[in-house]
Every structure is written in C-alpha cells, then in structure tokens.
C-alpha cells in the first residue's frame, strides 16, 4: 500500500517546491560533556514517527532507518519487499537530564496502534511491525512496565515487541525529515493511511 501511495504522491508532487534537504536536529544543542542516551522505536512508517519526537526538549536528533533484521546495509526497496527482517524505525539521541526515557515511551505509545500485528495502519508486513528496541536493562524494564500497565488499564493484548537493540542502518537521505521536505505528499499519505483516525479511536487525541 505504501509503495502504491508513494508512487501517487511522487506524481502529485512533481510541480511542488521541495524545501532544503539539510537534516534538522531537534531541540537545542547539548552542552559539552553532556551524557547522551539512545532510544530506538519502530512504529510503522518512519515518516510518521519522526515528527512526534522532533522538537521535544531534550531530544537532540531523530534518525529514520532500519533495524531488527539480518541484512547488512539494506536499501528501502529491500526492506519494503519484506525479506530483510528489518523494520522501519527511528533512532533518537536524547539528554536524559532533560527528557526521560519514560516520556519517550509515552510519546511512542500514543503514536502507534499497539494492537496491530505485523502492520501499522494501512502498511502491512513485518517491516511495519511495532517494536521497542532497548539499549540497556533500565530501558528494558521501563518498556515492559509501560506495556504491562497499558494492557491492564485498557484490557488490551498488545502486539508491540520489546527486544534488544541491534545494528541500526540510517535510511536514505530523502527519507530523513520527509514530512518537512515534502509536506503535501506527507499529509496525503498520512490521511490516506488512516493514521490519525485510528489514533483518535485508541487514544482520544
């Protein structure tokens, strides 16, 4: 579905102006000597998972990429075909003194459909699964606790995986900050995929 929509969006956007391709870091630059941490989340299309984290105080950068599979240096086409084992994901570098991992988890959960198995919204396949890739024991404990809490509060059976972080491969440059570079195409895709409608049903936002 995403590949079909992407082709449609490309044709629609041929006549639109494309903003600067320079990658944008989120928030203020960290002070020298600041100890930074990394968080990695998969929530379906990475175009839609960058905006919620960017601009958050304490978030230094958000990178779209691929992780969780066996293929080294995969391309977008390879991941989209479903044979690499990778999921589209975002990797966040943040300052734990300014934003907690728990806050990042909250943002993550409220921007995905945790009930969907091997898909998110209109995109189907393991490459669009939802997952939390933890980088240490504290992140693992926090992720499992938040998942368990949501299941108890809502009575849900959450499909989101909580697994160790592995190699993360940065996606092609045209995918970075896609929502900024191609706002019309991004809006068309997001609306067509029914993402906001489903998030409203789940989270009331």
Q: Which residues are catalytic?
A: 45
How many Å separate Cα 189 from the centre of its chain?
Answer: 15
* Reduced 3-state DSSP string for 95-117: CCCCCCHHHHHHHHHCCCCCCCC
Please state, in angstroms and rounded to a whole number, the distance separating the CA atoms of residues 55 and 129: 25
Residues linked to residue 87 through DSSP beta bridges, in sequence order: 67
Q: Residues 42, 68: contact at Cβ < 8 Å?
A: yes
Retrieve residue 11's tokens: 């044709």
């Amino acid at each position: 579905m995403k590949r079909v929509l992407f082709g449609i969006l490309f044709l629609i956007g041929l006549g639109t102006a494309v903003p600067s391709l320079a990658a944008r870091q989120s928030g203020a630059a960290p002070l020298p000597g600041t100890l930074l941490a990394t968080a990695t989340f998969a929530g379906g299309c990475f175009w839609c998972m960058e905006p919620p984290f960017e601009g958050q105080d304490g978030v230094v950068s958000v990178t779209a990429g691929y992780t969780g599979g066996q293929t080294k240096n995969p391309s977008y086409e390879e991941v989209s075909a479903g044979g690499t084992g990778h999921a589209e994901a975002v990797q966040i570098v943040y300052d734990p003194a300014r934003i907690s991992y728990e806050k990042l988890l909250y943002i993550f959960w409220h921007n995905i459909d945790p009930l969907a198995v091997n898909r998110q919204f209109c995109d189907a396949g393991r490459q669009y699964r939802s997952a939390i890739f933890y980088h240490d024991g504290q992140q693992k404990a926090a992720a499992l606790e938040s998942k368990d809490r949501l299941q108890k509060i809502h009575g849900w059976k959450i499909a989101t995986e909580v697994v160790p972080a592995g190699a993360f491969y940065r996606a092609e440059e045209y995918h970075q900050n896609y929502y900024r570079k191609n706002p019309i195409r991004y809006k068309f895709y997001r609306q067509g995929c029914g993402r906001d409608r489903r998030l409203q049903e789940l989270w009331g936002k």
